[in-house]
């Protein structure tokens, strides 16, 4: 007869935190959100510690190079999606690693024989007003000039006018040679009242830009995730099929941490993948694994050598695994069970394997609940897909700005590496949907607002760090009636568009 778990399967919405004693030192500015990303031994420090407990999902609609840079600036880590060619994924990782603390690799580039119409289309696509004109239209081509919004007037120019006729040519630009330090570059910008400074290689090719606006942003980002060479930390997704080719390519361009992207991690396929990495690279390469939903799944991956373990099956907003296959477990229950197993494993072995809660995060307070239940960090898809920096298109749906968002198990993603069980490569049925999410502006503003709520909640619990929250947190199950009580009720809400006075 089948085994039946003794308790019901619960979600985050069914729990609340009960406040604890808060001392006068429990104020948000004193809260540290530092958290380990990879396994470590008792008494040692982890090889990678994040400054905020957030990583982005390994999804086409979420984790491109732009988002990876933006999240690293805030103190988190992005995992570039692996459902693309090895070459394309490696290129994205390389773009992040080249974006060296203030030196921006240009992603708005054009050839001199293109037109004003092309400039406007590029600006619409990237949102950038500074466009590099290179001989081949690439980010590393020979620099010929620059186009900014001051170089053209749409109302007085024909859309077919060639870029070379209105660009600011190279001889009129102030540039700096490759090897210029960030301080030197900023001094040049301020001395010459520039908005941007092109950095040029010895043979005249564009290396990067330094922007005036980034100076203030850099000062505003004390939590930046940087490696030993002052480059942004970035992760990358791999699968259990082409890892022998994909892993070396990603490591060669500087990927700091890998993660097996799979809907179900309690499998021989993941065991083989981790074993191959350990055989070829030892412990130097960090790789997360998952997903699992119980104690047995965690123990299996921890003993395989996973550097962190992801928890969650079917809880994502675009995931339909539960209704398609009847597989999964309520995210809160799964997380609590796995985190207990994590602590048991630590007691037995002295090895701490961080746990990532993946899926089921709908509201900001769910992050606080996940951390209190034992998660070291959370993986977010829908949350990050809403921002400017995600790779998906911004569209107007019924008068509301939205961003496209689709699951890796959807027909659009065609990601057989994630969902198949070792058979053929054909996608026989979908486990994800294609959808929209409300547009939410830039990542920095969104993340900082979310984490201000998390810090305030931790103070209510009398905790100034994530480990302290996990020790002090008190959680209570709530009824369906009390869930209603927790929101606005029995009042008539004022409309957003109500006019003043």
Q: Which residues are catalytic?
A: 319, 418
Question: If you write DSSP's letter for every residue of 233-271 in order, what string do you get?
Answer: P-EEEE-SSSHHHHHHHHHHTT--EEEE--S--SSHHHH
Phi then psi dihedrals of residue 231, to 5 deg: -100, 155
- Cβ atoms 381, 317 nearer than 8 A: yes
* Distance between CA atoms of residues 424 and 48, nearest Å: 37
Q: Which tokens hold the place of 461?
A: 């619990």
* Distance between CA atoms of residues 249 and 80, nearest Å: 13
Tokens 């958290």 label which residue? Answer: 35
* Distance between CA atoms of residues 104 and 211, nearest Å: 8
Question: What is the number of other CB atoms lying within 10 angstroms of the CB of residue 138?
Answer: 15
Question: If you write DSSP's letter for every residue of 131-191 in order, what string do you get?
Answer: EEEETTSSTTSBEEEEE-GGG--GGGS-TT-BHHHHSEEGGGS--EETT--HHHHHHHHHH
Cα dihedral across residues 424, 428, 431, 437: positive or negative: positive
Inter-CA distances, 147 with 22, 128, 188, 422, 441, Å: 55, 11, 20, 50, 25
* Distance between CA atoms of residues 449 and 158, nearest Å: 43
* Distance between CA atoms of residues 474 and 470, nearest Å: 9
The percent of the chain in helix, strand and coil, each rounded to the nearest 5, is 35, 20, 45
Question: What is the number of other CB atoms lying within 10 angstroms of the CB of residue 355?
Answer: 27
DSSP 51: S
* Distance between CA atoms of residues 403 and 239, nearest Å: 27
Of 19, 5, 10, give the one whose Cα is nearest residue 372.
Answer: 19
* Distance between CA atoms of residues 209 and 390, nearest Å: 21
- Helix, strand or coil for residue 462? coil
* Distance between CA atoms of residues 360 and 348, nearest Å: 30
Buried b (16+ CB within 10 A) or exposed e, 51-65: bbbbbbbbbbbbbbb
- Cβ atoms 261, 82 nearer than 8 A: yes
């Amino acid at each position: 007869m089948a085994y039946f778990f003794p308790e019901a399967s619960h979600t985050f919405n069914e729990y609340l935190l009960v406040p604890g004693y808060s001392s006068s030192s429990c104020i948000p500015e004193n809260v540290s959100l530092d958290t380990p990303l990879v396994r470590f031994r008792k008494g040692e420090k982890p090889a990678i510690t994040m400054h905020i407990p957030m990583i982005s999902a390994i999804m086409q609609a979420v984790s491109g190079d732009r988002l990876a840079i933006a999240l690293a600036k805030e103190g988190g880590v992005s995992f570039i999606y692996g459902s693309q060619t090895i070459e394309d994924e490696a290129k994205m990782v390389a773009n992040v690693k080249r974006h060296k603390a203030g030196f921006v690799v240009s992603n708005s580039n054009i050839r001199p024989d293109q037109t004003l119409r092309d400039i406007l289309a590029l600006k619409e696509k990237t949102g950038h007003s500074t466009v590099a004109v290179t001989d081949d239209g690439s980010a590393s081509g020979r620099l010929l000039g620059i186009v900014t919004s001051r170089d053209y007037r749409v109302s007085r120019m024909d859309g077919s006018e060639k870029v070379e006729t209105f660009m600011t040519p190279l001889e009129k630009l102030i540039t700096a040679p490759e090897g210029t330090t960030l301080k030197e570059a900023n001094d040049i910008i301020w001395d010459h009242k520039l908005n941007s400074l092109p950095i040029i290689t010895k043979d005249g090719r564009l290396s990067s830009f330094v922007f005036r606006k980034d100076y203030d942003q850099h000062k505003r980002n004390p939590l930046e995730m940087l490696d030993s060479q002052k480059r942004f930390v970035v992760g990358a997704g791999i699968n259990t099929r082409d890892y022998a080719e994909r892993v070396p390519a990603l490591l060669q361009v500087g990927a700091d941490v890998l993660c097996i992207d799979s809907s179900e991690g309690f499998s021989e396929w993941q065991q083989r993948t981790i074993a191959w990495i350990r055989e070829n690279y030892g412990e130097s390469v960090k790789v997360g694994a998952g997903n699992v939903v119980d104690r047995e799944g965690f123990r299996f991956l921890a003993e395989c050598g996973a550097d962190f373990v992801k928890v969650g099956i079917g809880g994502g907003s675009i995931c339909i695994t539960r209704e398609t296959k009847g597989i999964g477990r309520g995210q809160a229950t799964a997380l609590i069970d796995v985190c207990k197993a994590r602590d048991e494993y630590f007691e037995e072995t002295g090895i701490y394997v961080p746990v990532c809660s993946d899926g089921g995060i709908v509201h900001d307070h769910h992050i606080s609940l996940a951390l209190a239940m034992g998660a070291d960090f959370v993986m977010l898809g829908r949350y990050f897909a809403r921002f400017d920096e995600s790779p998906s298109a911004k569209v107007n749906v019924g008068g509301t700005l939205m961003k496209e968002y689709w699951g890796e198990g959807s027909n659009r993603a065609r990601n057989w590496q994630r969902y198949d069980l070792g058979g053929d490569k054909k996608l026989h049925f979908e486990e994800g949907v294609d959808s929209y999410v409300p547009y939410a502006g830039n990542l920095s503003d969104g993340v900082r607002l979310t984490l201000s709520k998390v810090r305030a909640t931790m103070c209510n619990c009398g905790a100034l760090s994530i480990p302290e929250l996990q020790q002090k947190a008190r959680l209570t199950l709530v009824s369906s009636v009390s869930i209603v009580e927790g929101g606005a009720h029995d009042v008539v809400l004022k409309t957003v568009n109500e006019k003043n006075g």
